[in-house]
Amino acid sequence: MRLVRNLQRKRKLEQQKKLAKGVALGTLVGGILGSTAGILLAPDSGKNTRKKIQDGATELKTNVEKNVEEVKSNLGNTLKSRKENIRDVVGKIRNLRKNPGEDVAACADVIEEEIAIVSEEKSE
């Protein structure tokens, strides 16, 4: 049962990771396009236009830094989850070594599920 929960948690973290990438990319593109359109479409003096460009670049930098931190956080959570999954599998393998009478077929099923999940992730 723990393995199933871990697999579900792993899938949820992968979805969050994809969402974070989309948000970061959307913010970056939106910031660039919005700043450019605002600057080019608003008639103003050169001094004011340069100031607007500087302000837009500063805002864009802030947004990018914020999104990078979010992605780092999500990646850290994903790595932590994967470490937990690896520890669980290693613990089960060690338990099988200690108790060879355990149900080997059940262990094979677990390994096949893990392989299927990894293959699915690679195809995405």
For residues 45, 51, 52, 55, the Cα torsion angle rounded to the nearest 10 degrees is 180
Closest CA to 80 of 25, 16, 1: 16
The total of structural domains in the chain comes to 1
pLDDT of residue 123: 59
pTM attached to this predicted model = 0.41
Model confidence pLDDT, tens digit, residues 110-124:
677 777 776 666 555
∠ CA 119-123-124 to the nearest 5 degrees? 120
Which residue type sits at 12? K
Q: Which pLDDT band holds residue 105 (cuts at 50, 70, 90)?
A: low
Of 36-40, 58-62, 64-68, 74-78, where does mean pLDDT reach its minimum?
A: 36-40
3-state secondary structure of 84: helix
pLDDT of residue 77: 80
Domain residue limits at 98? 2-123
